[in-house]
Amino acid sequence: MPSRDEVSYFGAGPAPLPTPIVEAGAKAFVNFNDCGLGLGEISHRSPTANKILENIKADLTSLIGIPENYEILFLQAGGSGEFSAVVYNLVSVWIERRRKRAEAESLKANPGADKTQIDELVFQRVQKEVEKELKLDYLVTGSWSLKASQEAARLVGAKYVNVALDARKFNDGKFGKIPPEESWSLTPTKREGGKGSAFVYFCDNETVDGVEFQGFPKSLEAQTGDEEDERLVVADMSSNFLSRKIDVSKYAVIFGGAQKNVGVTGITIAIVRKSLLPPQTATPPASLLHRLNIGGLPGPIVFDYATAAKNNSLYNTLPIFNLWIAGQVIANLVGAFGAQKVGGQEEIANKKAALIYGALDKYPQIYHVVPDKSVRSRMNICFRVHGGDAEKEKDFLTGAEKRLLQGLKGHRSVGGIRASNYNAVPLRNVEKLVKYLEDYATGQAE
């Protein structure tokens, strides 16, 4: 029976956790701080739970530099739940901004009208604007952004979803490249002569296809300083969160499931610009949304950012044990890197990825890295062995298992090999994998 230290796990998620945190979690689950109860048993509204929540917010803010005008929310349902949540929330923001504008202009143009008449005028105008102008922009660069776009189409209707980029069209029907930004067909903003979209979504790192944006897209940069004339950028960072520096101020919403770089399954982190929440932007009346009949808006209350923010992420029962695990991971990073903050982890992530890609590139006759070199993921390294020969890839995985290199099988939808290089994968385990890649390529593997 191998020990935990002997196994090198490269699974794509749930992903490995630092061993000291797993050991501390085992104790905390039984008897947290000698209080006689485990963390899975204490009330989510207790002082203990509130302190855990307070600490993780402070550490996360410090680690990645979250500005004061952002709210940190802890939700459930993973990244897939956020595919729905961003639609429900940001389409509602889009509608509310237009409702307020229509109401103000209708009152001015019809000073003698009563509330019922004004409400009808507002409804008619907003209804026309929804039909003519509502667009949700999606950059589809892999399997998860594709699923996100499909969920948006399911909720609000395909006519409202603008797939501004389908990377498969530039790569023989497969994911693996991100074409130049000038080829994207984003909905024009006001300054570009259009009406703008409700938001622009992209997945920063695609776990299935091994594609990662190398930086923030220039075409999504703010231009005028007028938020209503800028693109509201939504990024799914489920699989590369806390692995590199980011400028949070460029995003309207950042979200990610915790089970890759942050913790265990069951916690979803969302970082939301406060201007999208009450009182700066209220939720449109439910009666208006019902009449507009767009994708079941308003959505489920557990997905409502305003409700979560108002209740400090405690509207419903938050899994405090899962929150504590995530808090310990983040606190560990804060303590480990000090003034470097998340940049310290970025250096390590880059080093580990360079070692693996270096070994793969060294033997092109044996290994083929799937995505284009310009978009290679540092987190999910996808490659084929001997051109994708099924039997040889099976032998490769069998040999890896003998060396206790586990979790290397590619996603079932694409096959091949995938080495997930998340934060908790130690350098020594990457070095073991590199040694196996070398040995297999030179015929020295068992």
Each residue of 8-24: pLDDT tens digit?
999 999 999 999 999 99
How would residue 70 be classed by pLDDT, with cut points 50, 70 and 90? Answer: very high
Each residue of 314-332: pLDDT tens digit?
999 999 999 999 999 999 9
Its pTM surpasses 0.95:
yes
Domain boundary among 265, 286, 321: 321
Mean pLDDT of the chain: 96
Domains in the chain, number: 2
DSSP symbol at 31: -
Mean pLDDT in residue range 96-112: 95
Q: What is the CATH number of the domain that holds 76?
A: 3.40.640.10
User: What confidence score (pLDDT) does residue 223 get?
Assistant: 77
Using alpha carbons, select from 387, 386, 369 the residue that is nearest to residue 378.
369
Mean pLDDT in residue range 352-381: 98
Question: Does 37 map to a domain?
Answer: no
pLDDT above 90 coverage of the chain, percent: 95
Domain boundary among 288, 321, 354: 321
User: What confidence score (pLDDT) does residue 174 get?
Assistant: 96
Question: Does 26 map to a domain?
Answer: no
* Amino acid of residue 177: K
Question: Does 55 map to a domain?
Answer: no
Each residue of 37-58: pLDDT tens digit?
999 999 999 999 999 999 999 9
Residue 227 has pLDDT above 80, yes or no: no
Helix (H, G, I), strand (E, B) or coil at 300: coil
Q: Cα–chain-centroid distance for residue 242? A: 11
Domain boundary among 259, 287, 321: 321
How would residue 203 be classed by pLDDT, with cut points 50, 70 and 90? Answer: very high
Residue 161 has pLDDT above 90, yes or no: yes
User: What confidence score (pLDDT) does residue 137 get?
Assistant: 98
111 and 211 share one domain = yes
Question: Does 317 map to a domain?
Answer: yes
pLDDT above 70 coverage of the chain, percent: 100
Question: Does 47 map to a domain?
Answer: no
Residue 347 has pLDDT above 90, yes or no: yes
218 and 77 share one domain = yes
List the alpha helices (DSSP H) in 45-142: 47-64, 78-109, 115-133
138 in Cβ contact with 161 (< 8 Å): yes
CA-CA-CA-CA torsion sign (48, 52, 57, 63): positive
User: What confidence score (pLDDT) does residue 282 get?
Assistant: 87
Count helices and strands in the chain by DSSP H and E runs: 11, 14
Please tell me the distance from the alpha carbon of residue 423 to that of residue 242, in angstroms, as a whole number: 8
231 and 358 share one domain = no
User: What confidence score (pLDDT) does residue 164 get?
Assistant: 98
Domain extent for 352? 8-14+340-442
User: What confidence score (pLDDT) does residue 111 get?
Assistant: 93
Residues near 213 by beta carbon (within 8 Å), at least 6 away in sequence: 141, 178, 202, 204, 205, 375
